[in-house]
Structure formats: C-alpha cells, structure tokens
Amino acid sequence: MSDTNRKPGALCNACGGDGRIADPKAAIIGREPQTVIIARLCRWCRGTGRRPNLHPPV
C-alpha cells in the first residue's frame, strides 16, 4: 500500500507484500454467528511478502 515499502524482488501479488492473507471464517462468538478474519501466513511467499524473481509475473 505504501510507496516507501519498495524493496528488490518481486512483490508477492497473492498477499500484496503483506506476508499474510486474510482468511474469513464463520465463528460463533458468544451466541452470535460472526465472521472472523484470520490472518494466515501466505503460502506463496511464506510470509516474506516477496518472491524471488524465478518466474516472471503472468
């Protein structure tokens, strides 16, 4: 999101460089069903937010 965050290497476009992906899950909290956003590690970049330049972006 920030231009000051530029680093060498390809930004992971799966997580947007965040290293985590928001994973909404339905959960019952108290007695009300709610959607809980769980941030899980991006499996594409393994949480680094960047990917090595092995493959050109499609």
Interface with Zn ion by CB under 5 A: which residues? Answer: 12, 14-15, 42, 44-45
Nearest to 19 by CA among 31, 33, 29, 5: 5
Q: Can you read off the two tokens belonging to residue 9?
A: 């290497």
Least Å distance, CB 28 to Zn ion, is 30
Which residue, 25 or 46, has its beta carbon nearer to Zn ion? 46
Which residue, 27 or 40, has its beta carbon nearer to Zn ion? 40
Least Å distance, CB 11 to Zn ion, is 8
Question: 45 CB contacts (<8 Å, ≥6 apart)?
Answer: 12, 14, 15, 19, 51
